[in-house]
A and B are shown apart, each in its own frame.
Chain A
């Protein structure tokens, strides 16, 4: 892909293209990609900042165990990008730090 990505796609003509939005910017992907795979193929390597030190992180295991690929997807915080399939129109943003837990009495401190 002409994205400056360190990853190259195999030629797979049968998969339908989809478009998701990462930090508001359109990103082309193929049906069946995980969100993490789609973003890596597009050269997006930083997915989150750690809750403790704020260090930048990206996918590591691509199979659901390491939790390095956390993203906010369609308004839901802390989703594992490698475990969610990319879909047309999906809104994805970086997961910066820990999520808050809000309750009916107002946001958590």
Chain B
């Protein structure tokens, strides 16, 4: 096999939002980074997602995940500025606070109770609000009569996720980062002081390796003594023609993007490696959207698509270091847009230096799924 001679401090498997955020963060610190990605037929959550920067509801059963997500929301303006400078394209980041809309009173009460529990666990620092129909109508005049209310979280927002990916790629390359795409990494062989990687008939040698290959991590992780129990979960998304602004805040179900189109999502379906759309689900999503905002009955849907989420068993991120093969890391999560800022500006430095002032990074290890450690 042909040998690649480039010096690689870090090889990153996966060129989606997670891999690119970590790669960009490492390159910022002066590390020599090569990203390996598959070709255009790969499953890529990063090119089919909803674009929310969303802290609300994250970590209800893991307060450290709530802390980590909110940290990312607070770092987002810095990331967006750096990336738009590098790519010359604004990311359309807006963080005016977001609403999660409920169509029944029961749902609203249940959600409020869960958020109160999280607020207690965080020592009172969880500034959500619950709004009934009338209060919500003052903030979002377009809601329909069947809307019971919503929870509001002031740190939530949204961004154009494709400009985010493009910004990460361009900023990374401007720092000298290299991307090798086509076949991805087929095999990783740990050696005494380095890792041998095989990709598309070539062999690469890297000092350290970060697995950020989304669903592909399940296969790569055991090669370096790690465990990545991730499974696909499909979401379908609809997008309408561009219309005049009618929605000043993103909601968990519907947002109006920077150019005026309305993005509507998203289902949660356990269908394996199938990223197609289905008329029943698209219909149900559209129907629910018109109950939330009846004026959407007039809007024409111009596209719909399916994409696969990368889900861990508890839905929380997995950040891990291999003890069997020091220098190998695993990074995966289900909210790679939201966490892009934490990944680039906090997780990458932790990987690069082994140091962090955050007390909770070890809590995200996949060891939590190990039955023996629970017993």
Residues of A within 8 A of B (CB): 51-52, 67, 78, 97-105, 108-109
Given contacts A67-B241, A101-B244, 18 further A-B contacts (CB under 8 A): A52-B260, A97-B244, A98-B242, A98-B243, A98-B260, A99-B241, A99-B244, A100-B243, A101-B243, A101-B295, A101-B296, A101-B299, A102-B295, A103-B294, A103-B295, A108-B244, A108-B295, A109-B244
**A51-B259, A52-B260, A67-B302 known; A78 and B294 CB under 8 Å?**
no
Using Cβ atoms and an 8 Å threshold, which residues of chain B touch A98?
Answer: 242-244, 260
Q: How many A-B residue pairs have CB under 8 A?
A: 45
Q: How far is the CA of A51 from the CA of B258 in the complex (A)?
A: 10
Contacts of A99 in B (CB 8 A): 241-244
Question: Which of chain B's residues 288-321 have a Cβ closer than 8 Å to chain A?
Answer: 294-296, 298-300, 302
Q: Which residues of A contact B294 (CB under 8 A)?
A: 103-104
Q: Judging by beta carbons under 8 Å apart, are A78 and B300 in contact?
A: yes
Q: Which residue of B lies closest to A105 (CB)?
A: B141
Indicate whether A51 sits within 8 Å of B299 (C-beta atoms), given known contacts A99-B244, A101-B244, A108-B246. no
Q: List 29 A-B contacts (CB under 8 A).
A: A52-B258, A52-B259, A52-B260, A67-B241, A78-B241, A97-B244, A98-B242, A98-B244, A98-B260, A99-B241, A99-B243, A99-B244, A100-B243, A101-B244, A101-B246, A101-B295, A101-B296, A101-B298, A102-B295, A102-B298, A103-B142, A103-B295, A104-B294, A108-B243, A108-B244, A108-B295, A109-B141, A109-B244, A109-B246
Name the CB-closest residue of B to A107.
B244
User: Once the chains are docked, how many angstroms separate the CA of A102 from the CA of B246?
Assistant: 10
- Enumerate chain B residues within 8 angstroms of A51, measured Cβ to Cβ: 242, 259-260
B245 within 8 A of A: yes
B245 to chain A, nearest CB (A): 7
